Amino acid sequence: MGLLSIVKGVAGGIAKAAGSLLKTAQQALGDLGKTFSKNKPVCSATAPCPRLAVTAKELRGKAEVQAALEKAWKDSQAGDSAKRHEEGGWIYQNTTTRVITVRRAPAGKQASVNLNSPPSVADSVVVGVFHTHPNPTSEGWNPGPSKDDRSIDERHGVPDLIRADDGVHVSGPDTRRGGLTGGSGFPS
């Protein structure tokens, strides 16, 4: 055995050892990855887990929300061409109990209602708004969200349920932006 073969032999041994070490390290990292993904999301006191607010679909399924929409629709006097006007309000969720409550806004005008200033509800945040479109589709009115509705809903950052003569339309994000975090009003 010449010197060169000895060097080659040693080099091969080192390469083999390094290879198995790498495999062990990869295995360990893989296991670590599995542990992390099983336990995610990783939360701490300074970075609390984001808690999801109800979705537009869930809101639509809630009896108290449906009742509020129907009450607002009735109050909109859709059948009276002189008196018909938009109505609306805010939907809140208690951040601890998750209980839903509803507050009504002052009556709106024929084709608008102002939902910019939700009143405060204790321990709750706004998770949705609702309003009516009482002007008849048979007269060419758009029952769904208007261009203004869409931009206002994006700014508010919560789903918007719209009751019209052909049913309920949905606009805005699917759920409160940022979950149940932030101040008592709209998300920042």
Residue 23's Cβ-side half-sphere holds a number of Cα atoms within 13 Å equal to: 6
Query: How many helices and strands in the chain, by DSSP H and E?
Result: 4, 5
Residues that bind Zn ion (CB under 5 A): 149
- Collapsing DSSP states into helix, strand and coil, what is residue 24? helix
Residue of closest CB approach to Zn ion = 149
> Using an 8 Å Cβ cutoff, are 78 and 150 in contact?
no
Q: State which residue, 85 or 176, has the beta carbon closest to Zn ion.
A: 85
**Pick 113 or 180: Cβ nearer Zn ion:** 113
CB of 174 to Zn ion, least distance (A): 18
Shortest CB 61 distance to Zn ion, Å: 22
Is the CB of 87 or the CB of 149 nearer to Zn ion? 149
Distance of alpha carbon 169 from the chain centroid: 17
Q: Minimum distance from CB of 136 to Zn ion (Å)?
A: 15
Q: How far is the CB of 163 from Zn ion (least distance, A)?
A: 10
The answer to whether residues 91 and 102 touch, using CB atoms and an 8 Å cutoff, is yes
